[in-house]
């Protein structure tokens, strides 16, 4: 059985039932309500706990978890439902950079496996490399739907008070100074920026 959609909210407290006494039981709540066989429930729960790195907390009371751990629990509870569409509404807001990257790695793997993912965010940092397309909303209206690189390079982001990824902002400033060729794509990550800069330097004859 496949659920159509699952959503992870910004505040994990809104998703934790408060009626289960362990993290494992909390994650099992959704599959149980689907009426799945016990073995299928166990398999889904253990898989979701492993994906979200919560296995070592499986016997803890959900209410005793930290904010970041609760957020990962909320994600695990949805992953156990195995939706074909996953919606993340600022779902990494309480995570540190390492935790945020862990979630993005999970999202990338789900996307590779065929799950459609929608991420609602007010800052592009953290998901710029994962997104295929970006939709920009203003006053409830869709003002742009384009591939990620074009959307982030657009002035619609700063015009709406949204900062571009730092790597792209620096590349745009370098382009304005003639240091970043017009024919080279703007970077979506620091790693991509570093690789492009290394190529520019080599072609300029300043490096072997």
Mean pLDDT of 19-48: 93
Instruction: Give the tokens for residue 118.
Output: 């929608």
Among 42-46, 60-64, 89-93, 151-155, the least confident range: 89-93
b/e sequence 3-16, b meaning 16+ C-beta within 10 Å: beebbbbbbbeebb
pLDDT score of 28 more than 70: yes
Mean pLDDT of 164-176: 88
Question: Which tens digit of pLDDT belongs to each residue from 105-157?
Answer: 888 888 888 888 888 877 766 677 778 888 888 788 888 888 888 888 888 87
d(CA 197, CA 89): 34
Mean pLDDT of 25-45: 93
Q: Does an H or E element contain 47, and which? A: helix 38-51
d(CA 106, CA 172): 30
CB < 8 Å & 24+ apart, contacts of 21-26: 21/61, 22/58, 22/59, 22/60, 22/61, 22/62, 23/49, 23/54, 23/57, 23/58, 23/59, 23/60, 23/61, 23/62, 23/65, 23/73, 23/76, 24/49, 24/58, 24/59, 26/62, 26/73, 26/77
d(CA 198, CA 40): 50
CA atoms within 13 A on the CB side of 142: 5
Which of 25, 32, 43, 90 is labelled catalytic?
90
Note whether 189 and 128 are within 8 A (CB).
Answer: yes
Q: Does an H or E element contain 163, and which? A: none
d(CA 123, CA 146): 17
How much is the mean pLDDT over the chain?
86
Question: Which tens digit of pLDDT belongs to each residue from 190-208?
Answer: 888 888 888 888 877 654 4
Higher-confidence residue of 55 and 143: namely 55
Active site residue 195: no
Mean pLDDT of 45-60: 94
Domains assigned to the chain: 5-120 (3.40.50.300)
Share of the chain above pLDDT 90, in %: 26
- Confidence category of residue 3, pLDDT binned at 50, 70, 90: low
Among 44-53, 60-69, 84-93, the least confident range: 84-93
């Amino acid at each position: 059985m496949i659920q159509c959609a699952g959503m992870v909210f910004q505040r994990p407290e809104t998703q934790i039932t408060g009626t289960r006494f362990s993290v494992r039981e909390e994650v099992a709540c959704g599959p149980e309500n689907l009426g799945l066989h016990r073995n299928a429930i166990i398999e889904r729960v253990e898989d979701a706990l492993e994906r979200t790195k919560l296995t070592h907390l499986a016997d803890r009371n959900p209410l005793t978890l930290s904010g970041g751990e609760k957020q990962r629990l909320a994600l695990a509870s949805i992953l156990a439902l195995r939706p074909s569409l996953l919606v993340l509404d600022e779902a990494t807001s309480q995570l540190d950079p390492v935790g945020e990257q862990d979630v993005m790695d999970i999202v990338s793997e789900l996307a590779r496996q065929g799950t459609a993912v929608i991420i609602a965010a007010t800052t592009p940092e953290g998901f710029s490399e994962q997104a295929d397309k970006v939709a920009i909303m203003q006053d409830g209206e869709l003002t742009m739907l384009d591939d990620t690189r074009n959307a982030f390079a657009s002035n619609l982001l700063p015009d709406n008070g949204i900062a571009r990824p730092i790597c792209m902002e620096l590349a745009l400033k370098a382009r304005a100074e003639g240091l970043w060729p017009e024919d080279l794509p703007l970077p979506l990550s620091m790693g991509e920026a570093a690789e492009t800069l290394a190529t520019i330097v080599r072609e300029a004859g300043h490096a072997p």
